[in-house]
């Protein structure tokens, strides 16, 4: 698959078959993660790959298993989600937050060494480490797509990241930006509509 094909076919996958992703492919995907650009040349990143379903169950235990229709509607209102395509996305995604990770063949936890207080940065460059690991996360998504697999991600809410630290035992100076689920997409998957963007309106030559 060429690069543009991978970019164009990558979608967030939240419905998986109960099939594994082989170890060598997971390793190749993480190798691709390490090819991403990095702010300080160090790539002080680690990736915990959770495949043991007992560990997965413990790790995800803190994530709500679903949402009532009533709460879903309240969330759409509270978050001011007025765009109908955006609403479709949230209606699809929110109820699947637990299942999309539990049903994945593996859950990948990226970790970056964080030297400054990421939640209270003094300036933008204090977020460089965080920005760099997100470049690596996109490489994971694209590499997985090129290998024929699918990925999703969840930003840890509340104390999910601190809870993950206690389950997975990663050191205090490493920061977890997200959970990534990777697996074999269900064959009858219906992807949510992607918002159409008129590229010509978004490119500004020489001046906004
Ligand atoms: C920074 C970031 C945070 C996201 N957080 C979540 C999340 O918590 N849960 C989720 O299911 N998807 C999450 N997503 C995935 C988006 O919902 C998804 O990328 C978006 O709807 C576009 O759909 P597509 O990836 O299929 O093109 C996140 C994506 C990004 C880049």
Q: What is the mean pLDDT of the chain?
A: 96
Q: Is 91 in the pocket of ligand 1 (CB under 6 A)?
A: no
Given this model, what pLDDT does residue 191 score? 83
Domain that holds residue 48: 3-63+98-202
Domain count, the chain: 1
Residue 21's nearest CA partner among 189, 181, 188 is 181
Tell me: pLDDT of 1 over 90.
no
Q: Which helix (H) or strand (E) is 88 found in, with range?
A: helix 84-93
Is 80 inside a domain boundary? no
Ligand 1 pocket residue status of 99, Cβ below 6 Å: no
For 111-157, what is each residue's pLDDT tens digit?
999 888 888 999 999 999 999 999 999 999 999 999 999 999 999 99
Tell me, yes or no, whether 85 lies in a domain.
no
Measure the CA–CA gap between 83 and 117, rounded to whole angstroms: 34
Residue 132 forms part of a structural domain: yes
Q: Does the predicted model carry a pTM greater than 0.85?
A: yes
Evaluate whether residue 14 is within a structural domain: yes
Q: What is the pLDDT of residue 114?
A: 87
Higher pLDDT residue, 115 or 173? 173
pLDDT tens for each residue of 13-67: 999 999 999 999 999 999 999 999 999 999 999 999 999 999 999 999 999 999 9
Per the domain annotation, does 91 fall within a domain?
Answer: no
Tell me the CA–centroid distance for residue 11 and ligand 1, in Å.
9
Which is higher by pLDDT, 6 or 116? 6
Residue 115: per-residue pLDDT: 82
CATH number assigned to the domain comprising residue 191? 3.40.109.10
- Measured from the Cα of 94, ligand 1's closest atom is 11
Q: Per the domain annotation, does 90 fall within a domain?
A: no
Are the CB atoms for 137 and 177 separated by under 8 Å? yes
Residue 115 lies in a domain: yes
- Which numbered atom of ligand 1 lies nearest the CA of 191? 26
Pick the residue whose CA is nearest to atom 11 on ligand 1. 93
Cα–Cα distance measured from residue 43 to residue 34, given in angstroms and rounded to the nearest whole number: 7
Q: Tokens in use for 105?
A: 């063949």
Judged against a pLDDT cut of 90, whether residue 190 lies above it is answered with: no
Residue 21, in any domain of the structure: yes
């Amino acid at each position: 698959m060429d690069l543009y094909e991978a970019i164009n076919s990558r979608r967030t996958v939240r419905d998986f078959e109960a099939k594994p992703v082989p170890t060598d492919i997971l390793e190749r995907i993480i190798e691709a993660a390490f090819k991403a650009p990095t702010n300080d040349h160090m790539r002080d990143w680690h990736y915990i790959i959770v495949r043991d379903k007992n560990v997965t169950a413990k790790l995800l235990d803190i994530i709500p298993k679903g949402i009532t229709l009533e709460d879903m509607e309240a969330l759409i209102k509270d978050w001011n989600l007025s765009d109908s395509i955006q609403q479709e996305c949230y209606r699809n995604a929110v109820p699947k937050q637990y299942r999309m990770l539990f049903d994945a063949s593996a859950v990948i936890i990226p970790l970056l060494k964080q030297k400054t207080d990421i939640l209270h940065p003094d300036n933008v460059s204090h977020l460089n480490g965080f920005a760099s690991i997100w470049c690596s996360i996109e490489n994971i998504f694209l590499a997985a797509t090129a290998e024929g697999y699918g990925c999703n991600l969840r930003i840890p809410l509340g104390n999910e990241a601190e809870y993950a630290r206690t389950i997975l035992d990663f050191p205090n100076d490493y920061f977890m930006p997200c959970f990534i689920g990777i697996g074999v997409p269900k064959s009858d998957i219906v992807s949510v509509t992607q918002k159409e963007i008129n590229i010509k309106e978004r490119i500004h030559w020489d001046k906004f």
